[in-house]
Amino acid sequence: MSAENNPTAPNDGAEVTVSFAATNPCHVYDLAVALRTLGVGGMYYSGYPRWRLRPPQGFAMRAASFRTLVTYGLQRIPERWRPPNSRLFQWQDTGFDRRVAGMLEPADFIHGLPGQCLRIFERARRLGVRTVLNHASGPLRQQLALIAPEYARAGLASPLREDRSAALLRRIDAEMELADFHCVASTVVREQLLREGVAEDRIWVVPYGADPARFPKSGRIPAGPFRICFAGQLSIRKGIHYLLKALEAVGRRDWEACFYGPPMAETEGDFSAYGGAVPLRRMGAVSQAELGRAFAEASLLVLPSAEEAFGLVVVQALEAGVPCVVSDRVGAKDLVRHRENGSVVPFGDVGALVGELLWWAQNPRRVPDHYGWDPCAAALKRVSADAAGAV
């Protein structure tokens, strides 16, 4: 297959340098590491200190970590005793942005995340570095529109209300103006950006991968009860209400539902109202290593989110061999083949979710395919080299 017909084939004929800046490693750190194995140079500007990430030898990295360490340290304090997350993370992001802008080095491209790269992009423009807004989430106004009805259902004010987010919206609008390109992980976000007026040829779709060392493949169908796994913040945005309603409707005492992720007060009402027969286990926040071990014993991952630009946990579960049921608002639906490695259900459709849970309970299987970072990095190398050569 030729490179022209293969979106993951690297353009090995072009030298390109790609730098990244992110307070949280999320997806960009693994992508940067995989790029370096392909010989792509560049700097990684990190909100995490080097000792925390433990990058491979020779990995070019500069850290601006003070505010990130403070922000995540405060996450250990109960919500009622610390500043709101929206204020904390804006404080973290703006400080990181200023620090990195001051240390930015020449490269062909610099990737920044929305809300934390305005000064970086301004500095990059002066240095002649092409700017790439790397969208870990969808456009904020569209996020607001998607999640607002869910908070209204729960009788709560959305934490992303536009009046509270005005400064952040202005900042992201300015970053959008400064972005030469946009890198997204899914067709969901690509369509959202098109609705924002971004030209299609400025949008790169590069899906996320998973580290097989952290999420080792298990070909064994786990013994014991049919175990449904949810992984992520226990927030209203994640559609937990609909999963709980589906579990109530199933009425199976021989199943089990395990929730991995930090608890949030906003979904306590949903958990308290649960009256189903399926036992619930809330496991709290766990490390990726612990989550990998949990996947080895999981029958199915369910992510029924109201808004999810990708859903990194989906590709992690698939890499571990776990089928995934996701809502049609989850970007990782691009990877799901119906009843082969998972299912896609309409968001909020409890009946459809029940149907897929029952089908997978009756048809247990493991996913044999691999979803590593190398093909993702190769795709980014190719589009970067093409873009550099086109200018």
Fold match flag (18-208+373-390 vs 226-362)? yes
Q: Which CATH superfamily is domain 226-362 in?
A: Glycogen Phosphorylase B; (3.40.50.2000)
Given the structure tokens 């995934």, which residue do they identify? 324
Q: What is the pTM of this model?
A: 0.89
**Separation between Cα atoms, residue 298 and residue 218, nearest integer Å:** 10
Closest CA to 347 of 302, 284, 298: 302
Query: How far is residue 294 from each of residues 208, 277, 306, measured CA to CA in Å?
Result: 21, 22, 24
Q: Closest Cα to residue 258, out of 297, 213, 201, 219?
A: 297
pLDDT digits (tens, 9 = 90+) for 315-348: 999 999 999 999 999 999 999 999 999 999 999 9
Domain boundaries, the chain: 18-208+373-390, 226-362
- State the pLDDT at residue 4: 31
CA distance 350 to 78: 32
Strands 255-260, 181-184: parallel, antiparallel or unpaired by DSSP?
unpaired
Taking the chain (391 residues) in runs of 10, the rounded mean pLDDT of each run is 33 74 93 95 96 94 93 83 84 95 97 97 98 94 92 86 75 96 97 96 96 91 94 96 97 95 93 96 93 96 97 97 98 97 98 98 96 96 89 46
pLDDT of residue 389: 81
Contact 244, 276 (CB under 8 A): yes
User: Is CATH 3.40.640.10 correct for 18-208+373-390?
Assistant: no
What are the tens digits of pLDDT across the range 283-323?
Answer: 999 999 999 999 999 999 999 999 999 999 999 999 999 99
Report yes or no: 290 and 264 within 8 Å, Cβ to Cβ: no
